[in-house]
Amino acid sequence: LFVESSQIYNLTAEYIGVTSVILTWSVDNATLNPSTSRVVVVNEAPVKILGETKASITELIPGTMYNFTVYAAVNDSETGASLSLYTKPSPVVDLKAEFVGVTSVILTWVMNDSASDSYMYRIEVVNDAPVENLTFNGTKAEITELIPGTMYNFTVFAVAADNKTEGEGVSIFLYTKPSLVVDLKAEYVGVTSVILTWVMSDSASDSYMYRIEVVNDAPLIPGTMYNFTVFAVAADNKTEGEGNSIGLYTKPSPADDLKAEYVGVTSVILTWVVNDNASDSYMYRIEVVNDAPVENLTFNGTKAEITELIPGTMYNFTVFAVAADNKTEGEGSSIDLYTKPSPVVDLKAEYVGVTSVILTWVMNDNTSDSYTYRIQFVNGTEENLTFSGTKAEITELIPGTMYNFTVFAVAADNKTEGEGNSIDLYTITVSVNSLQCEPVAKQPYLMLKWKCPFGNNSGFRIKISNIHTSGEQLAPPCMVEGFEQTFQITSLNFFSTYNVSIITLSNGSESSPVDKLCHTSISDPPRPSEVPSVKAVSHSSLSVEFSDFDSRNGPLEAYAVMITTEEQGPDSLKSKLNNTYKDFKKKKTAAYVTYVIKTEQAESPSSHSQNGRNIINVGKGNTMYGYENGPLIPLRSYRACVAGFTNITFMADVIEGEDSYVSFSPCSEPVLLPQDPGVIAGVVIGCLLAIFAVVAVGGFIFWRRRRKDKRNPDVSFSPIKSKMIKVENFESYFKKQQADSNCGFAEEYEELKSAGVHQPKFAAELPENRGKNRYNNVLAYDISRVKLSNQSSGAGDYINANYMPGYNSKKAFIAAQGPLPNTIEDFWRMIWEKSIYSIVMLTKCMEQARTKCEQYWPDKQPKSYGDIIVTMVSEVVLPEWTIRDFTIEKSNTPESHMVRQFHFTSWPDHGVPETTDLLINFRHLVHEYNSQNPMDSPTLVHCSAGVGRTGTFIAIDRLIQQMEMENTVDVYGVVYDLRMHRPLMVQTEDQYVFLNQCVMDIIRSQREKKTDLIYQNMTAMAIYENFTPGPAFEKANGYHT
């Protein structure tokens, strides 16, 4: 290249490229003449002159050293300036990261320049930190000491051999890999989830994301092994660090449906369900918790038996499913269970009673203090009771019944029970109650009656004995409680006392015996074979001598001498007992009764008895009852027969044969009376009349003395049983009897003295019972006495009280003495056992400074009399009487009932009330109340002895009802009947007259007012019931019309 040029200097490269350079220079025109410049290139290349001082050389080889000389032509000489240069290497190509590490990268590139072998390479590393340059001599470079997870710009420059001429840089942006996460662990492992934590210490970690690789696809499955790898991802979201891995099992699911398949005394069998897919690989840990240290047991199935437990103890069992790694456990499922208590041992009956048993047993478990016990007892139906100790009383059982008792120990949870231990027991059967024995009329039998006892029985054993004999019989069982059972005992003796003992039987067990003294009936006396001895005494009289009849069928009460003019058989004589001498005289009969003699009758002018022989003078003209002992007819033949009576009944003063117990001796041979001598006849008749007059006067004097001395043992007439009088005829009867200072009533009362006195009273006379009698002469007759129950012997059932007949019932009343201190308990026991709802008390406790009756009732506070508890609930005090209401109950029984006491306070001892209306009013008050009580409930009446005032009250009640229902009255018969049941009933003549006065006042009141005998005593009731009667109710002799 030649240029017009001056001196050349300051030759530089304005631009160096890969295949070209641009040179510039300066020319010193002052020294040089302009001339043409020339550029010389050692390696030839096109040159282009761009001006006087600038030239472009192209088509150079990259990275090659060139020497450029610029010459200037001066006057045919050349002056030149030279410059050596390297062209820039070409940019590297295919720059990439062969490796990206945490703190290093390996870059590779390609360089195709022909001079590349001489190249060096500068790598410029740019981060937020200052630029760092690194030099490498190949096309691969490892840059180290980088920051993990950081973005770097790497620029690679090819450097020519002059170590300074660089080609254009080629850049690549790279993130170093994040560091490996450290301390990778599971913060939480669940059934279907885990929580992982790790640590990343890189400075760039704030920009990181993390990728977790789960080997075993999510979602997670319980109890399954998973490998979790955590990768840190740089901010470019693609550069990841090395992964850190952890292998984990998810927890198994909790066991489901955990329950006890079996609970035993020292073991339990648990079952459960686990539905996890991996459950086949599971093991199960059971944690057993008690007060003792925790115990762990391992099982490989879903059923486990845990043994060696303590009986009756609460355990907490927790079941954990364990994964296949034998350490990853699911949540525990728990169940609280009590082991069963041990069975009770030594179960036995400490006591077996009628309606209860006491069981005892032993329990040896350590935890037995917390036990309760269930007792199951079975008799057709099942019942259960719970007790807290090892002794239990089971009550309200059925007597005579087999029960199966099973005792179960129950743990503290009140539901876990041990095995039961059983015992079979029979309750003791109940003794019969209300045992009664009744004689069978005219039969050597006893009819026993009792109420079927509560409970079961297999029959009854009946023992009957007296001093002569003993025997035993069986009665069939009964089924209906309270139903009356009857049993007839035969082949006994008439008129005998037997001790009857009845025992209830049930399956080999026996009740305590119930004893009763029973009396067989009397009957017709045995027919004697002896013929009476008959002798003519005069032309109009005979003497009849006969022996006493055999008394084995009952004591002979009376004899009747019969006279007949014809041959008579014994059977025909019975129908002729009501024939009298008048009938014979009128020729209505050929046989008649001429004389009746009571066995206790003293000798009279017409009869006497000696050494069992009786002599009766027939034809003496005296009268006995309705029979006249009239004179016989001379020159007539007479036969004599004797009738013996164990029971004689009169009607209208003549013997009622059908109702009497009688047998007849054979009739004697006929005896002919002599002729009446004419002369002697008048004398005889005169003498007879004189004798008769003497006898009559003597008899009258004798009778008057007897009336003054009522206790004269020499004279005792047995009364007839009835003197029934029409109401309309009573006033005339009353006036007749009232005449001569009540002479007629005195005679009647005297006749009643012997009524019932021969009734036996063995029980009252027993030594152990004498202290139970207030008065020695008022003893309860055996035949009607009230017997207390539940006693071990016949004597132990005694109380001085008798059943008394009323108008409608044989046991309408109980007449009793006022209780003694030692008989108050018996008194209340009688009230309870006989279901008494009303008491009539006719005495004060103290009269004339003497104790007549103990106060047997409480005042304000309840009081126990034996096992009877009595509470007074009200008391109304009135001028003439006081009314008290009590509740009574028996210990250990739920039953109770009301009892009302009517206390009449205006009746003097051995006397009578001031007026009849007081007692009549009082009786009506009692009667009205009793009409509300059960029909079979007797009214208890007592005074001090239980005979005088008591008998008067009972008699008034009967007489009023008799007048109302029959329009007749029989004071005599009523008193007679009462005295046959209890001695001395209506004790004084004044009381007997008072009875008749009551009847008379009632009849007069009704006649004057023209009202019915059935009245309503409203005033008497109003006093107690707080009712004020209207003016229409007026009083007249105790009746209100």
Which amino acids are annotated catalytic? 943
Beta carbons within 8 Å of 775's beta carbon, 6+ residues apart: 817, 945
Spatial distance between the Cα atoms of 716 and 750, rounded to a whole number of angstroms = 9
Residue 457: CA count within 13 A, CB half-sphere: 28
Q: Tell me the sheet residues that pair with 978.
A: none
CB distance 121 to 95 below 8 Å: no
Q: Which two tokens stand for residue 860?
A: 């304000």
Q: What are phi and psi of 157, to 5 degrees?
A: -110, 130
- Pairing relation of β-strands 813-816 and 939-942? parallel
Total number of residues shown for the chain = 1041
Spatial distance between the Cα atoms of 603 and 597, rounded to a whole number of angstroms = 10
Spatial distance between the Cα atoms of 360 and 251, rounded to a whole number of angstroms = 54
- Local structure of 779: helix, strand or coil: coil
Spatial distance between the Cα atoms of 245 and 1012, rounded to a whole number of angstroms = 124
The secondary element (H helix, E strand) that includes residue 731 is helix 730-751
- Local structure of 107: helix, strand or coil: strand
**Preceding amide of 805 cis, omega within 30:** no
Spatial distance between the Cα atoms of 637 and 674, rounded to a whole number of angstroms = 10
The secondary element (H helix, E strand) that includes residue 501 is strand 497-506
Q: In which residue are the tokens 């020294």 written?
A: 31
Query: Per-residue b/e over 876-891, b at no fewer than 16 CB within 10 Å?
Result: eeeebbebbebebbbe
Q: Which two tokens stand for residue 564?
A: 């007949």
Q: Which residue intervals of 903-986 are DSSP H helices?
A: 916-930, 948-966, 971-979
Spatial distance between the Cα atoms of 561 and 542, rounded to a whole number of angstroms = 11
Q: What are phi and psi of 622, to 5 degrees?
A: -80, 170
- Local structure of 14: helix, strand or coil: strand
Spatial distance between the Cα atoms of 566 and 515, rounded to a whole number of angstroms = 53
Q: With DSSP H G I counted as helix, E B as strand and the rest as coil, what are the percentages for the chain, rounded to 5?
A: 20, 40, 45
Angle between helices 989-1009 and 971-979 (to 10 degrees): 140
Q: How far is CA 202 from CA 208, 411, 432, in A?
A: 9, 65, 108
